[in-house]
């Protein structure tokens, strides 16, 4: 019998199964990530991830999935312009609700090294851990760096097969990231960290076939909560197989036919490669939006100056975001032509509330989008877009953008995230609350505790 075979190993005093390289690496990261290992630039990037997560989650609190989830615990719950407080006996529940809120709009950050959304499992787990064990702003940022890094290390060694097999990496690999971040905040020992990784591996779940349903954001909330539990249980002496990730019949073997042979070596911390969504539309429209915005800023052309606009994108875009004549606000999100018209007319593509059915029928935009042609070709990046603007009079202006490449200009990225956050939290946060949140996160590295941060996001 299965269970007795395992018990027998204990009886016979069998040695712990050999520890794998990946768990070794992760446990070391969870323990050491904080010391002097994390460079300032990574912490700066973690600050960006935190701001973006907070704003997207605050905006996401209005979504039906989040309301249902919050009311399951507290039938009287009403959206109040803040996240559920991370303190008290309901902390795991808060992590679940806030984690779901962060992903409910699908507007949160992405990292191709993990094949998913890195912050949404990691940040709520780290915040809940910080509410349990006081920590400084710098420690929290380090924990976020550790969480992103753990996800990337696992995602890279799992390779594309895990995602291709049908697993939603944000839910599965995200559980490991959440455990790693929480373990770092809680100060787990090396042995505890290994058990936490095993407990995360055996709870990791989430199927890609749930995309398009409320279960998708649920995966993120569950990953955050399960990761937090993994770290807290391990801290109290709860045990798990110490090679649950890469060992025999472990996470990798069961869900992606084993690890790639060699770990990927990157000189950049994963959090530096985290990408942000700045437009509340399909991600494959973002490069074209950015390219046209850059062209218009450079040329200062007005909508009526444009005779024709050609948008060159990879062929994969055709089945995803090439609705030629959208009739509803939701369809606009998947219409390169209509989005180009919005950019030309100065509409705020970040605004969640912009995508109304009236917008889809706006006569000026409908007329203008007739000037736009979408053309397919193989570009340097499958996510890139080259926009050719033909002005009246014959001048042609061209710009190529690729939102798949991390921004190197961090001050510009911060400004863009602030603008996005302001746009999406309008109507959610009381006046002045957004500015206070930005100030708090700007100065986080110098704060000895996180009381102001928790206050800024939960009240």
Instruction: Please report, as residue ranges, which positions from 88 to 127 form the binding site for a copy of itself (by CB under 8 A).
Output: 89-90, 106
Among 36, 236, 431, 446, binds a copy of itself (CB under 8 A): 236
DSSP-assigned beta bridge partners for residue 401: 385
Q: How far is the CB of 248 from a copy of itself (least distance, A)?
A: 6
- Other beta carbons less than 10 A from residue 202's beta carbon: 17
| Nearer residue to a copy of itself within complex by CB, 89 or 394 | 89
Q: How far is the CB of 28 from a copy of itself (least distance, A)?
A: 22
DSSP-assigned beta bridge partners for residue 458: none
Q: How many helices (H) and strands (E) does the chain have?
A: 20, 4
Ramachandran sector of residue 83 (left: φ over 0; alpha: ψ -120 to 50; beta: rest)? beta
The residues in 332-361 that bind a copy of itself, with binding defined as CB under 8 A, are: 333-334
| Nearer residue to a copy of itself within complex by CB, 71 or 392 | 71
| Nearer residue to a copy of itself within complex by CB, 216 or 371 | 216
| Nearer residue to a copy of itself within complex by CB, 355 or 414 | 355
The residues in 6-25 that bind a copy of itself, with binding defined as CB under 8 A, are: 6-11
Contact present, 332 and 291 (Cβ < 8 Å): no
Options 30-38, 196-204, 342-350, 434-442: segment touching a copy of itself (CB under 8 A): 196-204
8-state DSSP, 398: E
8-state DSSP, 309: E
| Nearer residue to a copy of itself within complex by CB, 145 or 193 | 193
Among 201, 280, 340, 444, binds a copy of itself (CB under 8 A): 201
Paired tokens of 376? 């397919």
Options 184-192, 199-207, 262-270, 422-430: segment touching a copy of itself (CB under 8 A): 199-207
Q: How far is the CB of 120 from a copy of itself (least distance, A)?
A: 12
The residues in 306-325 that bind a copy of itself, with binding defined as CB under 8 A, are: 319-321, 323
Q: How far is the CB of 303 from a copy of itself (least distance, A)?
A: 26
Contact present, 227 and 276 (Cβ < 8 Å): no
The residues in 57-86 that bind a copy of itself, with binding defined as CB under 8 A, are: 64-65, 68-69, 71-74
Q: How far is the CB of 166 from a copy of itself (least distance, A)?
A: 3
| Nearer residue to a copy of itself within complex by CB, 166 or 380 | 166
Q: How far is the CB of 454 from a copy of itself (least distance, A)?
A: 21
| Nearer residue to a copy of itself within complex by CB, 107 or 414 | 107
Per-residue exposure over 360-390, b if at least 16 CB sit within 10 Å of its own CB, e if not = bebeebeebbebbebeeeebeeebbbbbbbe
Within 13 Å and on the Cβ side, how many CA atoms surround 401? 18
Among 94, 150, 183, 241, binds a copy of itself (CB under 8 A): 241
> Nearest CA to 226 among 212, 209, 243, 240?
240
| Nearer residue to a copy of itself within complex by CB, 8 or 297 | 8
Chain-centroid distance of CA 136 in Å reads: 23
Paired tokens of 227? 């990761």
The residues in 401-440 that bind a copy of itself, with binding defined as CB under 8 A, are: none
Among 37, 207, 301, 379, binds a copy of itself (CB under 8 A): 207
| Nearer residue to a copy of itself within complex by CB, 48 or 117 | 117
Residue with tokens 């499958």: 382
Q: Does 247 bind a copy of itself (CB under 8 A)?
A: yes
Contact present, 336 and 401 (Cβ < 8 Å): no
The residues in 210-229 that bind a copy of itself, with binding defined as CB under 8 A, are: 210-216, 218-219, 222, 229
The residues in 128-187 that bind a copy of itself, with binding defined as CB under 8 A, are: 163, 165-167, 171
DSSP-assigned beta bridge partners for residue 207: 167
The residues in 263-302 that bind a copy of itself, with binding defined as CB under 8 A, are: 282-284
Give Cβ neighbours of residue 228 (< 8 Å, ≥ 6 apart).
91, 92, 95, 124, 125, 128, 129, 178, 179, 182
> Nearest CA to 293 among 423, 417, 416?
416
- Other beta carbons less than 10 A from residue 152's beta carbon: 26
DSSP-assigned beta bridge partners for residue 308: 390
| Nearer residue to a copy of itself within complex by CB, 315 or 346 | 315
């Amino acid at each position: 019998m299965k269970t007795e075979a395992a018990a027998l190993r204990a009886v016979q005093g069998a040695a712990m199964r050999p520890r794998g390289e990946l768990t070794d690496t992760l446990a070391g990261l969870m323990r050491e990530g904080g010391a002097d290992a994390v460079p300032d630039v990574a912490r700066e990037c973690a600050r960006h991830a935190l701001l973006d997560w907070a704003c997207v989650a605050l905006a996401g609190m209005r979504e039906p999935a989040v309301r249902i989830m919050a009311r399951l615990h507290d039938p009287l719950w009403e959206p109040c312009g803040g996240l559920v407080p991370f303190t008290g006996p309901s902390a795991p529940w808060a992590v679940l609700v806030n984690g779901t809120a962060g992903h409910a709009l699908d507007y949160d950050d992405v990292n191709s090294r993990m094949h998913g959304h890195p912050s949404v499992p990691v940040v709520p787990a780290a915040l809940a851990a910080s509410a349990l064990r006081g920590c400084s702003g710098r420690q929290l940022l380090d924990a976020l760096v550790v969480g992103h890094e753990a996800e990337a290390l696992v995602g890279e060694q799992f390779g594309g097969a895990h995602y291709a097999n049908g697993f939603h990496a944000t839910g599965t690999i995200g559980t490991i990231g959440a455990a790693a971040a929480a373990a770092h905040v809680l100060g787990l020992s090396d042995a505890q960290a290994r058990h936490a990784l095993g407990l995360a591996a055996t709870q990791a779940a989430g199927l890609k076939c749930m995309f398009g349903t409320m279960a998708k954001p649920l995966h993120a909330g569950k990953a955050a909560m399960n990761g937090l539990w993994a770290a807290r249980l391990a801290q109290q002496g709860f045990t798990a197989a110490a090679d649950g990730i890469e060992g025999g019949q472990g996470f990798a073997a069961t869900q992606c036919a084993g690890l790639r042979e060699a770990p990927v070596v990157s000189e950049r911390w994963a959090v530096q490669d985290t990408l942000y969504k700045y437009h509340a539309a399909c991600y494959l429209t973002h490069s074209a939006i950015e390219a046209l915005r850059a062209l218009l800023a450079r040329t200062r052309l007005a909508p009526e100056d444009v005779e024709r606009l050609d948008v060159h994108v990879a062929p994969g875009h055709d089945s995803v975001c090439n609705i030629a004549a959208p009739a509803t606000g939701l369809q606009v999100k998947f219409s390169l032509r209509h989005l180009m018209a919005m950019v030309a007319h100065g509409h705020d593509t970040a605004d969640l509330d912009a995508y109304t059915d009236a917008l889809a029928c706006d006569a000026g935009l409908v007329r203008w989008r007739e000037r736009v042609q979408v053309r397919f070709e193989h570009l340097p990046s499958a996510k890139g877009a080259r926009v050719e603007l033909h002005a009246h009079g014959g001048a042609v202006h061209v710009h190529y953008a690729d939102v798949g490449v991390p921004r190197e200009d961090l001050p510009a990225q911060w400004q863009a995230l602030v603008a996005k956050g302001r746009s999406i939290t309008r109507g959610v946060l009381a006046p002045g609350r957004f500015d206070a949140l930005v100030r708090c996160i700007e100065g986080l590295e110098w704060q000895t505790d996180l009381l102001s941060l928790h206050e800024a996001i939960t009240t």
